[in-house]
Amino acid sequence: MDEFAVRERTLGQILDETVAKYPDNDAVVYVDRDYRQTYRQFAEVVDDLAKGLMALGVQHGEKVAVWATNVPYWVALQFATAKMGAILLTVNTNYREHEIRYLLTQSECENLFIIDGFRDHDYVQTIYNMVPELKTQPRGQLRCPSLPHLKRVMFLGAEKHRGMYSVPEIMSMSAMVSDEEYAERQRALDPHDVVNMQYTSGTTGFPKGVMLTHVNIGNNGYWIGKNQHFTEKDRVCLPVPLFHCFGCVLGVLAAINHGAALVILESFSPMHVMASVDQEKCTALYGVPTMFLAVLEHKLFDRFDFSSLRTGIMAGSVCPEPLMRRVVEKMYMREITICYGLTEGSPVMTQSLVTDPFERRVQTVGRAMPCIEVRIVDPETNEEVPRGSQGEVVCRGYNVMKGYYNMPEATAAAIDAEGWLHSGDLGVMDEDGYVVITGRIKDMIIRGGENIYPREIEEFLYGMDGVQDVQVVGVASRKYGEEVGAFIIAKPGVELAPEDVRDYCRGRIAWHKVPRYISFIDAYPMTASGKIQKFKLREMAEELFPEAMK
């Protein structure tokens, strides 16, 4: 087979091929709990979980949402749903009731897996508040008027909760499904079926469900790993959230395509990263810039051995060149790469190679991935601009999403008639095809790798007593790349303080969306035609909040 051909395989077939080649190699490792599975053991859990879901009645094409940190069953669920034909719907662990209700409603989700909670947020109680019927109706026969599509709520662990099935209970039900029924379900799958949905703010409006296929993310994972020279001898330390493409594609699928071991952290901790790399002799480490900075600046950094590291990925937000140099010099990651893309592109469209000159790897986001076309076009005309000129970054290829769930107009706005996916980002491509990202057409804020769309926060703050108008912008931040800033016009005669706004937000929207910087003003800068000039608000923010860059 041509190495550069698009691979027409399901995620289940990719896993089965790896298990057949490396059954006794480590597949999944958690250092903090001495948890270790070989590929053979991992595959057995995947198959039992998949057959258990079939026994519960989960059908081909149903959505299975997972609202959980990187717990051990998360990756097994990713492949179990893929093998039995369901669509894994990944949920941001920072979501609160307002956001999880929107996601479950818009996606018409039938199934939900949760854990007990994250940080100060009790997921179980939140779901009982939203779905009180769970406590009174038979398990698996849920009828909830406010969420009419939801059929089942399950717990991603061994604990038992009223109205929910636990993972051991689901796996025990696998005996009810024959191997032939399971094989028949898998034979019915098409590599171009949607296998994953992730909600992203995209370019406009509220979050949209990005529909990604086996071909989309299976091939993207293959090339991400190939570009890092992954083999079955590699061990990948993964502290980034699995609900992001960074975790479940760049991490999981890059490793499993090449038989590498996944050394997973339930949530990010510099100490756990250092201990995992040291104890497991990891060869690759992933993270957003703030994660690498937290490791490098930890007071115990010098006590750990990083000499096994070779490669990895820094992505999620702008990667500062000085930080890249420190990672290479202090953490031995001489073959570190940068990836660029967006969820709608599965997600990576460009990546630097381990063989690229160092300057290219720290000053660009690399070149187009195999089987993907990347162009820089004039945002007004869609015509390709000359090399060295700035324009919008667009791509076309196997990686382009199937579309946004139940949003045909938004899909048409993102993917043009010729199949080009528009990123909304500005960039420049040099004569050799290397791309530099120079800015964004859209207003989206990227805080430490988290995409935040201002309009969503604005709509939320409009509901606060005393707020007449609000505009949300990104405030440049040394630590996070950007922080959320809010410019508020209060109603006449109303006195508001920044802490009043934060108190209104806390516990009601995800913590990373709560404005860090707040200014009360009398009027917004406007164009002659009456449009608010957000770029001037961003300039004002730099003057008003210089501490953000300290």
Q: Which helix or strand (DSSP H or E) is residue 172 part of?
A: helix 167-172
Does residue 356 lie in a domain region? Answer: no
Does residue 394 lie in a domain region? Answer: no
Residue 351 CA: distances (Å) to CA of 207, 220, 358, 372, 459:
26, 11, 13, 11, 36
pTM of the prediction?
Answer: 0.87
pLDDT in tens, 403-454: 999 999 999 999 999 999 999 988 999 999 999 988 777 777 889 888 787 8
219 and 78 in a single domain? The answer is: yes
Which among 434, 415, 431 is positioned nearest to 423, based on CA atoms? Answer: 415
Does residue 498 lie in a domain region? Answer: yes
172 and 307 in a single domain? The answer is: yes
Residue 367 CA: distances (Å) to CA of 237, 313, 337:
25, 15, 11
Residue 186 CA: distances (Å) to CA of 50, 78, 88, 179, 249:
10, 15, 16, 11, 21
Positions of E strands within 169-207: 194-200
For residue 524, the domain's CATH number is 3.30.300.30
Does residue 231 lie in a domain region? Answer: yes
pLDDT of residue 203: 39
Q: Which long-range contacts (CB under 8 A, 24 or more apart) does 415-421 make?
A: 416/382, 420/375, 420/377, 420/382, 420/394, 420/395, 420/396, 421/342, 421/344, 421/345, 421/394, 421/395, 421/396
Burial 491-521 (b: 16+ CB within 10 A, else e): eeeeebeeebbeebbeeebbebbbbbbbbbe
Tokens 């040291």 sit on residue: 278
Q: Which helix or strand (DSSP H or E) is residue 452 part of?
A: strand 450-452
Chosen domain end from 312, 331, 350: 331
Which domain does 288 fall in, by range? 11-331
pLDDT of residue 214: 98
Q: Mean pLDDT for the chain? A: 94
What is the maximum span of the chain, computed from C-alpha positions, in angstroms?
A: 72
Does residue 405 lie in a domain region? Answer: no
**Percentage of the residues of the chain whose pLDDT score is greater than 70:** 97
291 and 155 in a single domain? The answer is: yes
215 and 88 in a single domain? The answer is: yes
pLDDT in tens, 49-91: 999 999 999 999 999 999 999 999 999 999 999 999 999 999 9
Chosen domain end from 331, 349, 375: 331
Positions of E strands within 204-292: 208-213, 235-238, 261-264, 284-287
* Bond from prior residue into 23 cis (ω within 30 degrees of 0): no
Chosen domain end from 276, 303, 331: 331
Bridge partners (DSSP) listed for residue 436: 428
pLDDT of residue 534: 84
Domain count across the chain: 2
Say how far apart CA 379 and CA 422 lie, in whole Å: 9
Q: What interhelical angle do 39-56 and 73-84 show, nearest 10?
A: 60
- Residue 521 above 60 pLDDT? yes
- By DSSP bridging, strand 235-238 and strand 208-213 are unpaired
